[in-house]
Chains A and B, each alone.
Chain A
Amino acid sequence: MLTAQIQIGTWPQSVAEFERLIEATQDELVQHAFCRLGNRQDAEDTVQDVYVEAFRDRQKRAHITEVRAYLFRMVGNRCTDVRRRWRFTTGPLDDHHATSDTTFSQVAGREQAERFARLLAELPPAEAEVIRLRAWSDLSFAEVAAAVGSSVPTVKSRFRYGLDKLRRLLMPEGGPNL
């Protein structure tokens, strides 16, 4: 209900409204960032940075009504920045990151994200992003369109093309290989 209110409302302006926004969206944004970055610490740091930026620039963004989708876009952009920085450092799976998630479920989650990332790496980035937002973040096509700044028909086309390519990767003739 809270998410729905935020979707139809405008960009929050008060600290109290931001608190409600964070309460409503933190899990799915962390999930999205985790999907992109593969470890919890970086995912949470990224999401925190996005919320603070969203608060700092709240007046500038007061006209935005698709708040949730826009937050996904901000997280996506910031994840891209983080990954870009990794190219100049040791990367996401160095010792520091690998040891920051220690429980079995966290390790399983990280492996799952890595496997998903390897699959999506076979797709054009625009198709990969649509698949990611649909499959891991449960955004509707309309929300995905708002998040990536495209039309719904374009997003659906990318989803279809991406899904078909993944089908060929996952289930080549003779049976699935993953």
Chain B
Amino acid sequence: MNCKQARERILESLGNSQSETKELREHLAGCPACRSEWQHDREVWEKLRPAETIVASHQLMERTMTAITIEAAKESSERSASKWRSRPRWVMLAVAAVLLVVLIPLLPLGNSNRAGVALLAQSLQAMSKLRSVHISGQMRTVPGDNFELIGTDYQFVPLEMWRDYGPPTRWRVEKPGRVVVMDGQQSLLYLSKNHSAMKGEPTTGFVQWLRPLMSPETVLAGELAAAKRGEAEASLTEANGQLTLRITRQAQGDFTNDWVKNKAIDSSDHTRVYRFDSATKLLTGLSVVVHTGGQDISVLELNSFTYDQPLPDTLFALALPADVNWMLEPSEMPAAPSFTGPREAAEFFFDSLAREDWQKLLQVLPGSSVPDGIKNSYGGLNVVHLGDAFQSGLYPGWFVPYQIRLRNGETKDHKLAIRNDNPQRRWVVDGGF
């Protein structure tokens, strides 16, 4: 090694002891000029080096990932806008993105949760690209009854949902005895037990609470929005490669009379647990636990989420039986007397059944005909007692308590659901019999 080579190696050795080779040390031992240079350089170098190094604060990572998440959310909505050319879909995603932008800084995310922030963005990105989803699981409910109904003492019933993101968007929700199909133009509800069907707009609330689940890409944002409004407590954790979002909500509505308490998820104190796959960042599970009487009772378990599988067109079409009984809108029903309130309308309903006057019954029961099941079960009944109407929870109508004796001798105590929240302000029987 000559002096020129040694001087270059001396430079490299500053801060890098591996460059201080045996060859260099031998040269320095035999060359006073280079040794002096080496000593001076080292002295200057030591004076330049910081005595203490600065370490990034814990907040930097969280702040930065939050900012990046917001960027990702913005991109996600912009990409969807150009890719899908389907206004409802990209508008929905844009809303989700904006909600994320607004809400992420408000989440109770500690340092340990910063991975969750990133996963939120990744979930949004991943789900913005979905073509289809098929969800299946089980719910504690009554076969054939409305999709919102739950009961902590009911048995689990299978539940399935399909969504084709289109365009046009199509979906189907089904449980034993009840199915709703939206084919892109209209929605169609069919109840197999009494061959009843009803047409509605794509947004008609036939599937109630379940509908948001068919848009997994907006579930997170929607839930976080509820948290922001103070309607829920949200916590986000990541463990074992799985992101878990827990949303705890109080029952919604006025429960001065608690008849509907725990009869729907929204009318119960409950926790929703959403699970996201760490690899795909897609929603993979949802369970709902109702908290009542000191117990935690699972009422909904959706454990199978299949994405982007081709869905046959037959899923989004229903072949109705020839004798289908079309349920009517209030505006399509035959004229009825003017009632002073829900109790009088209920009296009219039960009187029609007692007299087996089916034309009269159809003035308050929305159908093109009276199903045989109703005729056979309730025709000729006797009213034992009719109570005062009351309201409960978020239900927009009224409940009228009644006790009736059926022709077969059986006595039935229940509450008739009756409502007039339609443009015509007509009283129509909605259920409860």
- B71:A30 contact, CB within 8 angstroms: no
B50 touches A27 (CB 8 A): no
Cβ contacts under 8 Å, B121 to chain A: 15
Contact of A19 among B48, B118, B125 (CB under 8 A): B118
Q: Is B68's CB under 8 angstroms from A27's CB?
A: no
Which A residues touch B15, using CB under 8 A? 134-135, 138
Instruction: Say yes or no: B71 contacts A116, CB within 8 Å.
Output: no
Please give the residue numbers on chain B whose beta carbons come within 8 Å of chain A beta carbons, in ascending order. 7-8, 11-12, 14-16, 40-41, 43-45, 47-57, 59-61, 63-65, 67-69, 71-72, 114-115, 118, 121-122, 125
Cα A159 to Cα B16 in complex, Å, equals 15
Residue pairs across A and B with Cβ atoms less than 8 A apart, 18 shown, are: A19-B114, A19-B115, A22-B61, A26-B64, A29-B56, A40-B57, A44-B57, A47-B60, A55-B68, A108-B52, A131-B48, A135-B49, A136-B48, A136-B49, A163-B11, A163-B41, A163-B45, A176-B43
Question: B54 contacts A31, CB within 8 Å?
Answer: yes
Least CB distance from B281 to A in Å reads: 9
Chain A interface mostly: helix
Whether A26 and B56, one on each chain, are in contact in the complex, defined by CB atoms closer than 8 angstroms, is yes
Known: A19-B118, A26-B56. A52 touches B14 (CB 8 A): no
A134 contacts B118, CB within 8 Å? Answer: no
Partner of A43, one of B47, B54, B71, B122: B54
B14 touches A134 (CB 8 A): yes
CB distance from A127 to the nearest CB of B (A): 13
Surface stretch bound by B, among A64-72, A91-99, A165-173: A165-173
Q: How many angstroms from the CA of A116 to the CA of B46 in the assembled complex?
A: 12
- Minimum C-beta distance from A66 to chain B (A): 18
What chain B residues lie within 8 Å of A52 (beta carbons)?
64, 67-68, 71
Q: Does A112 contact B (CB under 8 A)?
A: yes
A113: nearest chain-B partner, CB-CB: B50
Enumerate the 5 nearest inter-chain pairs by beta-carbon distance, A residue then B residue, closest first: A26-B56, A135-B48, A30-B56, A34-B54, A31-B54
Q: Which of A47, A51, A159 has the most CB of B within 10 A?
A: A51
How many A-B pairs have beta carbons closer than 8 Å: the answer is 117
A162 and B321 alpha carbons, distance in the complex (Å):
91
CB-CB contacts below 8 Å: A95-120 with B: 105, 108-109, 112-113, 116, 119
- Cα-based distance from A178 to B11 in the complex (angstroms): 22
Per the bound structure, the CA–CA distance linking A34 and B54 in Å amounts to 8
Q: Are A16 and B40 in contact (CB under 8 A)?
A: no
Name the residue on B nearest A119 (C-beta): B48
Q: Is A84 an interface residue (CB 8 A)?
A: no
Question: Judging by beta carbons under 8 Å apart, are B44 and A30 in contact?
Answer: no
Determine the chain B residues whose CB is within 8 A of the CB of A178 once the complex forms. 47
Assess the B72–A171 pair: CB atoms within 8 A. no
Q: Verify B44–A163 contact, CB threshold 8 A.
A: yes
Would A109 and B50 count as touching, CB distance under 8 A? yes
Contact pattern, A 144-168, Cβ under 8 Å of B = 1, otherwise 0 = 0000000000001001100100110
Taking a contact as CB atoms closer than 8 A, the residue among A16, A136, A176 that contacts B50 in the complex is A136
A116 to B50, Cβ gap below 8 A? Answer: yes
A15 touches B11 (CB 8 A): no
Most buried by B among A35, A48, A56: A48
Chain B CB within 8 A of A89 CB: no
- Output the residue of B45, B60, B65 with the most chain A CB within 10 A: B60
Cβ of A131: which chain B residues have Cβ within 8 Å of it?
A: 48
Which residues of A are in contact with B by a Cβ distance under 8 Å? Answer: 14-16, 18-19, 22-23, 26-27, 29-31, 34-35, 40, 43-44, 47-48, 51-52, 55-56, 105, 108-109, 112-113, 116, 119, 131, 134-136, 138, 140-141, 156, 159-160, 163, 166-167, 170-171, 176, 178
User: Given contacts A15-B125, A135-B48, A167-B40, is CB(A156)–CB(B11) below 8 Å?
Assistant: yes
Contacts of A27 in B (CB 8 A): 53-56
CB <8 Å contact, A109 and B55: no
Nearest A residue (CB) for B121 = A15
A41→B52 CA distance, assembly (Å): 17
Q: Which residues of chain B are within 8 angstroms of A113 by Cβ–Cβ distance?
A: 50
Residue numbers in A under 8 Å from B16 (CB-CB): 140
In the complex the two chains form, is B69's CB within 8 Å of A15's CB?
yes
Taking the closest CB of chain B, its distance from the CB of A76, in whole angstroms, is 16
Please name the residue on chain B nearest to A43 by beta carbon. Answer: B54
Query: How far, in Å, is A43 (CB) from chain B's closest CB?
Result: 7
Which of B56, B60, B72 has the most C-beta atoms of chain A within 10 angstroms of its own C-beta? Answer: B56
Q: Once the chains are docked, how many angstroms separate the CA of A109 from the CA of B68?
A: 29
User: In the complex the two chains form, is A19's CB within 8 Å of B65's CB?
Assistant: yes
The residue that A15 contacts in the complex, of B12, B53, B63, B72, with Cβ under 8 A, is B72
Q: Which residues of A contact B72 (CB under 8 A)?
A: 15, 55
Q: How far is the CB of A114 from chain B (nearest CB, A)?
A: 12
Which of chain A's residues has its CB closest to B70's CB?
A52
Q: How far is the CA of A170 from the CA of B53 in the complex (A)?
A: 22
A30 to B61, CA, bound (A): 12
Cα separation A8 to B14 with both chains bound (whole Å): 24
How far is B55's CA from A55's CA once the two chains are assembled, in angstroms? 22
